[in-house]
Each structure stands twice: as structure tokens, then as C-alpha cells.
Amino acid sequence: MVATPEARGLVSDAGNLLLWLTVILVRGAFGEGRYLYPFLDVPRLGYPTVALNALLFGVTVLLIALTAVRLTRRRIG
């Protein structure tokens, strides 16, 4: 399977988002003890809720990105 540059960029962006999520959670757990985003506050919400919040946020970002790609392709093509 040959990946297009756009697909490689999407995978790279997804990896960057996962890395950012990991940094936020590790920093909150071992660093200052506070989380940058209230929907990722593990002591208050618990890990299952934070995982669900992260999943919903990721799906939302993905849907917005796919919508933007479709709209851009329609305008160009």
C-alpha cells in the first residue's frame, strides 16, 4: 500500500496529538499535580472518563479534518 503525502501527514498529526496527550497526562501526574485541560483532570474524573473524553475529542478533531478536506477538494475540483 502506497501512502499519499496527505495520508502520511494525517498519520503524523495523529501521532503528534497522541504524544501531546501523553505529555499532558504525565505532566499532571508527576509534575505540578494539575492538568492543563479540565476534561483531562484524572483525580477529579478518573481514568475511564478521561480516556472517553480523549477518544471523543480525537474523533471530533478527525471529523472536522475530514470535513475540511472534503470541502477543500470540492472547491478545487
The model's pLDDT over 61-73, given as tens digits with 9 standing for 90+, comes to 888 888 888 888 7
In this prediction the pTM is 0.72
How many domains are there within the chain?
1
Where are the alpha helices (H) located in the chain, listed in sequence order?
Answer: 5-30, 42-45, 47-76
> Does residue 35 contact residue 24 with C-beta atoms inside 8 Å?
yes
Give the domain extent around 66.
Answer: 5-76
Summarised one tens digit per residue, pLDDT across range 8-21 is: 666 677 788 889 99
What would the pLDDT profile of 28-40 be if each residue is shown by its tens digit? 999 878 898 999 9
Residue-wise over 41-74: b if at least 16 C-beta within 10 A, else e?
beeebeeeebeebbeeeeeeeeeeeeeeeeeeee
